[in-house]
Amino acid sequence: MRVTEGLITEKYLFNQNRISQRKLELQSQLTSNKKIENLSDNVGDAIDIVALDSKLNKFDSYKKNIGNAKNFINSSINAFDNAISNMEQMIQKVETMDDAINKENYPTIIKSLKDSVESIVRSLNEKHNGMYLFGGTNFNQEPFALDVDGKIVLNSADLAGEMKVKVGTNFTETMNMSGDKINNSGLINSLNAVIDKLNAGEAPTKELKDDFMQGYNGFLALQSQNGEKINRLEDIELLLENNTNNVQTLLLDKQAIDPAKLIVDLQYQDYLLQMSNKLSASILPKSLLDYI
């Protein structure tokens, strides 16, 4: 094979171009800190990155929803706690009515008991971010009210609604305790029966007190359901956290660069370029011409 000056130049330029291209690629990865900047860098990995990013965004959204739901449920728990505290005070006061000494204090005790009922209704009508905690999904009316006799009445025709919040792929959790459940706990009926008796100026009978205790226990059971919801949401949150970590690890595998490896590679390419330049500097101009 004849070796011509053109051939040597062509070879030199071709190699230099390839080395420079590789250097550019490495520099770009190092400065962007990303292995894949464009779709065509690696189509499969780029599409995987899109899918993984999408998962992370969804997880973030679920986590946000869980945070909102937990805040809502915590508000519900606080409202329940207030109501329970008032109920406990009522239980104590009702017990004092059995003592004959307190008979002349009935009006004061009855007023105090009615104040507690009012507080209970206030707690049951509490809102979180403008949403009735126990109004089902009907936010147009307060769920509970007091009638002229001071008894608790349902103020809305529909308290059954469940507020479902998306916390996973095709997976929802109900965050509210519906007014219907509170109503069905027996608390309101038993309280109202006590109030009827109080309005008659009498102390509640043992049966009424037993019913009230049953209603109170039913209400406590609902409170524990709120606690269970929080626990369940925290479990899901933990699961999402683990999934987020897994996806982030996968994403790092696809996307993260190894700076040390890239720098070594870049240095190697630089040596190659220097070598190519040095060789070319010594070979390219040399010919018989130089010796004539």
CA distance to 94, 194, 232, per residue, from 202 (Å): 11, 9, 45
CB of 2 to other proteins, least distance (A): 5
Strand 152-154 and strand 131-132: pairing? unpaired
DSSP 169-191: TTEEEE----HHHHHHTTHHHHH
Q: Is 160 helix (H, G, I), strand (E, B) or coil?
A: coil
Q: Is 155 helix (H, G, I), strand (E, B) or coil?
A: coil
- Residue 7 interacts with other proteins (CB under 8 A): yes or no: yes
Closer to other proteins by Cβ: residue 36 or 117: 36
| Residue span 30-59 as binding mask against other proteins, x where in contact by CB under 8 A, dash where not | ------x-xxx--x--xx-xxx-xx--xx-
- Residue 20 interacts with other proteins (CB under 8 A): yes or no: no
The structure tokens listed for 199 are 């309005």
- Residue 246 interacts with other proteins (CB under 8 A): yes or no: no
CB of 3 to other proteins, least distance (A): 7
- Residue 101 interacts with other proteins (CB under 8 A): yes or no: no
Nearest to 167 by CA among 175, 155, 156, 178: 175
Closer to other proteins by Cβ: residue 14 or 271: 14
Residue 20 to residue 1: CA distance in whole angstroms: 28
Rule CB under 8 A: which residues touch other proteins? 1-7, 10-11, 14, 36, 38-40, 43, 46-47, 49-51, 53-54, 57-58, 60-62, 64-65, 68-69, 72, 129-132, 135-140, 158, 161, 163-166, 169-170, 172, 175-176, 287-289, 292
